[in-house]
A = this chain, B = another copy of it.
Amino acid sequence: MALAGLSRRERQIMEILYRRGKLPVSAIREEMQDAPSYSAVRSLLRVLEEKGHVKHQAEDLKYVYMPVVHADKARRSAVKHLMTTLFGDSPEQVVAALLDVASKRLTREELDRMAAMIEKARQEEK
């Protein structure tokens, strides 16, 4: 539920932070599509901090911002949200869409690892 419920810009920033980890304001701004002014980015971060989504620490004479909720948890939460809202809670359908979208870039090795993950899940299931 973390990412859903945020505004457009807020989400944009959170996605950047989850991708890159820990960044100063200027770097966040550079990653943004149609980046607004430096001040605007800072305001967004201030709001996100008030809401408890990010925290900052001083480093190298400036602030670096990072998510409060760990990336893994946020990712799982986002996948779950996607699965329930658009795929009728069917993991299978998600995999189908995923393979469809990513097929071009998929190497045999990646496919093997995915198969292994599923095999492992089967073991645990049983």
Using a CB–CB cutoff of 8 Å, the interface residues on chain A facing chain B are 4-8, 11, 15, 18-19, 71-72, 74-76, 78-80, 82-83, 85-89, 91-103, 105-108, 110-115, 117-119, 121-122, 124-126
Contact = CB atoms under 8 A, between A and B. Distances in A.
Determine how many copies of this chain the complex contains. Answer: 2
Q: Is the interface of A mostly helix, strand, loop or mixed?
A: helix
A74 B111 CA distance: 24
B98 A113 contact: no
Most B Cβ at <10 Å: residue of A15, A111, A124: A111
A15 B108 CA distance: 34
A79 B85 CA distance: 12
Most B Cβ at <10 Å: residue of A75, A98, A103, A125: A98
